[in-house]
Amino acid sequence: MARTSKLVEVQKDIFFLEDKSVWRIAPGHLSRVAEWAPGVEVTVEKSDNAMWQYKLTVPGSTALVSATPSSGKLVLGSSMRDVKTAMEMHDSIQG
Query: 38 versus 89: which is more confidently predicted?
Result: 38
DSSP labels for 1-33?
--EEEEEEEEETTEEEETTS-EEEEPGGGGGGG
How big is the CA angle at 86 (ends 81 and 89), to the nearest 5 degrees?
Answer: 80
pLDDT tens per residue across span 45-92: 999 999 999 999 998 887 899 999 987 655 444 333 444 455 555 555
Q: How confident is the model at residue 35 (pLDDT cuts 50, 70, 90)?
A: confident
Domain limits, the chain: 3-70
pLDDT tens per residue across span 8-24: 999 888 999 999 899 99
